A and B are shown apart, each in its own frame.
Chain A
Amino acid sequence: MSQKPQGTALSNCPGCEEPLEPGDLFCGACGYDLSAVPAAPQDHPTIALNVPAESGTEAGAAEVRFDRRDTSDEPAEPGGPAGSGGSAGSGAPGESGDFELAAPAPPAAAPASAPDPRTPAAEPLAATPPAGTRVCVACRAGSVDTDGYCENCGHAQPRERDHMEQELGSVAAVSDRGLRHHRNEDSFAVSTTALPDGSWAVVAIVCDGVSSASRPDEASAAAASAANEALLESLPRGIHPQQAMHEAILAAAEAVNALAQEPGRAMEHERHRHQNAPACTLVGSVVADGLLVVGWVGDSRVYWVPDDRANPPARLTEDDSWAAQMVAAGLMNEAEAYADERAHAITGWLGADAYELEPHTASFKPDRSGLVVVCTDGLWNYAESAAEMAAAVPADAHQRPLHGAQVLVGHALDGGGHDNVTVALLPFAVEPQGAGSACGTP
């Protein structure tokens, strides 16, 4: 269930396949005039159901949209991956709302991103040039050679991983190359699965390849997919989510270590670099059984943003980084430490050359609904403190996580997009009477 790049033609530019933002008049990559294609009808391409899905629905089988979730009058939502959905704590207006569930699809179809109802839809397909005649996105004059470069101006063409989006039930993730890097070395995986008691677990994994090592893009992809698969295997067996997360990080580490043993896959152009073992960071979050579990190695982070913004947001992870160590040792304050050029030097990572793998995990039992923001430093560099992150998260992000993730990536790009940006959003909902407070062991 590893992530797939957004494949739906509905939300991609007809000229260059670049994913589009809602409301775009021109393609951001190639300048394709989108006004030339008919606007999509504004109705939702999902089927509204008044009856929530049965809890027996297969894991990941349904594409669920919480477009107007809230529903204090909705008695029980057995099947929703977000668990018991609406609550008094939710900040949305108290009108009656419904789940909107996509027609149950075969599980295989599930990982594909949900069509985004806000982008120009279906019709642009007709404007796509015939297959085999890709036109360069840079000069619009040359055709694209088999090796991915324009035969006229030589420019590299957008690659699949440059921008990826995925929405799966209530969880969504977006990854972008950013504005300053030539490739996307981040990766993510999102999934849902059923626990033995029939309730849902939602998983999000985000990895950031270490640029100074070789093949960071492969490392992050391998780690995200291995951790995700490990969780999908262990959670349904009833393993405690925190334990499952710990094991998933070990599995991811193993997958990254294995890359170092693969000989000769180094790209031609990387030969001049010192051949470091492929490496990446990992951060993951599991929402299951009223618990919020986080796990990480490196400096990718999880933030907690309560739906009711009157409550304080929080950062749930402690970076394995030079800056964090300086702060922890009391040698610098946070502002000084993060201003230092060494701030981002990480002290923990997945990879064959990691000194000693120390997976950090923590378990929380939030007493109110909120949003879990799982992201790489490409985002949090532009919203470092929990308060800044909360300010960047749109108010309706728990209802429209994909949109929320897109907005957050946009926030990073607006800030300069100096790194690859990846963010996954998991809404966490509790019953109003849900008691208990954080009981973590970071």
Chain B
Amino acid sequence: MANFAKSNVPQFSVEVYQNEYLPEGGREVNAIVTVTSTGGGTTGGVPLSGAGVTPARASGQAPRAAVVIMVDCSGSMDYPPTKMRNARDATAAAIDTLRDGTSFAVVGGTHVAKEVYPGNGRLAVADARTKAQAKEALRALGAGGGTAIGTWLRLADRLLGAADVDIRHGILLTDGRNEHEAPEDLRAALDSCAGRFTCDARGVGTDWEVKEVTAIASALLGTADIVADPAGLAADFTRMMENAMGKEVADVALRLWTPVGVEIKFVKQVAPTVVDLTGRRTGAGPRAGDYPTGSWGDESRDYHVCVQVPQAGIGQEMLASRVSLILPDPSGGAPQTLSQGLVRAVWTEDMAASTSINPQVAHYTGQAELAQVIQQGLDARKSGDFDGATAKLGRAVQLASASGNEDTAKLLSKVVDVVDAATGTVRLKAKVADADEMTLETRSTKTVRVKK
């Protein structure tokens, strides 16, 4: 029986953390907006362990979802041959994780995209029979050909677009560079797919381009990661699929309303990863704009909003921004406001108040800088600027250590020898494994939350 007591749509809450006090002449207002959705099915990126993780719920109640798995079948997947075998196994594991009733398809990607299953230009509906058929079809997957990821995404988009579902998601696996189409082609494909489905991207091995994979995930509001050892693919695919199955609502937008004269300096997602959303604004009526956040399960994310307000005298107070979460009506009606919070500005001559920095803002400003200096440090290292690399990565070590970002600190320690974390004194390692460097780069945007 359907349980009508539980809403299908998760509850969203918005909390704003800021120091609203500005000194005389102060114009920049920073706020961390924490958005939490509860009532959905996943644990917000925290991997669930064990079997039976799919939330126990009446099948009629689950949001209708569609997933397309894109597997790299280029020639390089045969070197070593375990790569192709592991990719096949991982895809099979992901198919096993599909909730019955979910629409799905498997696409094999080379310099062209090919439907592997079901192959009739549509999606299959998951049940014991179709899952078995899909796994059977995977045996036919062979390696050979080039890599043109844009074509894979466009095919996935066609398949997902034809389905009448709430959640559209892709899982993309590649092992090499996108060599058989121009970067503009991939860019154009991402632009046309953005907002139509979300997509997680994974690079297997160490011959792929980190920036390509992270760009796909960031454009399509999914996660990016490295699976250096192909043997780890199955576990990773299972986790990604569980996560996708837990999504409850798609196309949630963060709407920012700002008064006349207020300028938006940036809008970034800062947890669980840093994603700059500033340029992804779409207008939504007078003085309001929407920033895409993709689909949501049970999870919490933090956003850093920075606006510049007009000058005002001591003792004045104004609303700098109203932040709300918007769920568009699929039938084209008025969008639904899920929750909202206020960002304020108050001018004071109390220096103690105006000079204090909100701990959340300080923390995420540090986390964003951490991601940036890792990128810059690794770029400098690649270009042979070892002094620059040492300075940047030293700063990264310092930031990671001060903010308690242990995962990143651990990854950094594989690239540099840490002499003193507190001061950021490091030496570049003479020899660094490709996998370690790529892991650090891929995961550089991962943040931790404020220590409570």
Contacts and interface: CB of A to CB of B under 8 A. Distances in A.
Interface of A: 139, 147, 149-156, 177-183, 211-212, 268-269, 271-273, 418
B262, B316, B318 — most chain A CB neighbours (10 Å): B318
Given A139-B260, A153-B259, A179-B315, 18 more contacts: A149-B318, A150-B259, A154-B258, A154-B259, A154-B309, A154-B319, A155-B316, A155-B319, A180-B315, A180-B348, A180-B349, A182-B317, A182-B346, A211-B350, A269-B20, A272-B18, A273-B353, A418-B349
B342 interface: yes
Interface string B305-322: 000010010111111100
24 contacts: A139-B260, A147-B319, A149-B318, A149-B319, A150-B259, A150-B319, A152-B260, A153-B260, A154-B259, A155-B318, A155-B319, A156-B316, A156-B318, A177-B315, A180-B348, A212-B352, A268-B16, A268-B341, A269-B20, A269-B344, A269-B346, A271-B17, A272-B358, A418-B349
Interface in B320-376: 320, 341-342, 344, 346-350, 352-353, 356, 358-359
Contact of B314 (A155, A156, A179): A179
Given A269-B18, A269-B20, A272-B356, A153 B261 contact: yes
A424 B52 CA distance: 71
Contact of B262 (A154, A178, A418): A154
Nearest to B15: A268
B19 interface: yes
A323 B330 CA distance: 67
Contacts of B260: 139, 152-154
A181 B315 contact: yes
B interface, how many residues as a size bin?
20 to 34
A154 B318 contact: yes
A394 B54 CA distance: 79
A151 B346 CA distance: 17
Nearest to A149: B319
Contact of B318 (A153, A269, A271, A273): A153
A272 B17 CA distance: 8
Contacts of A273: 353, 356
Contacts of B356: 272-273
Contacts of A272: 17-19, 356, 358-359
A272 B32 CA distance: 12
Contacts of A147: 319, 342
A349 B312 CA distance: 33
A180 B262 CA distance: 22
A18 to B, nearest CB: 14
A181 B317 CA distance: 10
Contacts of B316: 155-156, 182
Contacts of B342: 147, 149, 268
Contact of B319 (A156, A178, A179): A156
Nearest to A152: B260
A151 to B, nearest CB: 8
A273 B359 CA distance: 10
A385 B15 CA distance: 48
A182 B316 CA distance: 6
A156 B317 contact: yes
Interface of B: 15-20, 258-262, 309, 312, 314-320, 341-342, 344, 346-350, 352-353, 356, 358-359
A155 B341 CA distance: 16
A108 to B, nearest CB: 34
A382 B154 CA distance: 73
Contacts of A211: 350
Contacts of B309: 154
B348 A182 contact: yes
Contacts of A269: 18, 20, 344, 346
A124 B276 CA distance: 53
Nearest to B19: A272
A315 B326 CA distance: 60
Contacts of B18: 269, 272
List the 9 closest pairs (A to B, CB-CB), nearest first.
A154-B259, A149-B319, A156-B317, A154-B319, A154-B318, A180-B314, A272-B358, A155-B318, A182-B317
A264 to B, nearest CB: 13
B349 to A, nearest CB: 6
A25 to B, nearest CB: 22
Nearest to A157: B317
A153 B320 CA distance: 9
Contacts of B320: 154
A139, A156, A177, A211 — most chain B CB neighbours (10 Å): A156
Contacts of B19: 272
B188 to A, nearest CB: 39
Given A268-B16, A269-B344, A272-B19, A155 B349 contact: no
B18, B262, B314, B359 — most chain A CB neighbours (10 Å): B314
Contacts of A153: 259-261, 318
Contacts of A154: 258-260, 262, 309, 318-320
A271 B17 CA distance: 8
B6 to A, nearest CB: 27
Contacts of B261: 153
A182 B259 contact: no
B313 to A, nearest CB: 8
Contacts of A271: 17
B259 A152 contact: yes
Nearest to A270: B20
Nearest to A155: B318
B208 to A, nearest CB: 43
B347 A182 contact: yes
Nearest to A211: B350
Contacts of A149: 259, 318-319, 342
A211 B346 CA distance: 14
A395 B432 CA distance: 87
Contacts of A156: 316-319, 344
A439 to B, nearest CB: 42
A293 B348 CA distance: 37
B308 to A, nearest CB: 13
Contacts of A212: 352
A179 B349 CA distance: 11
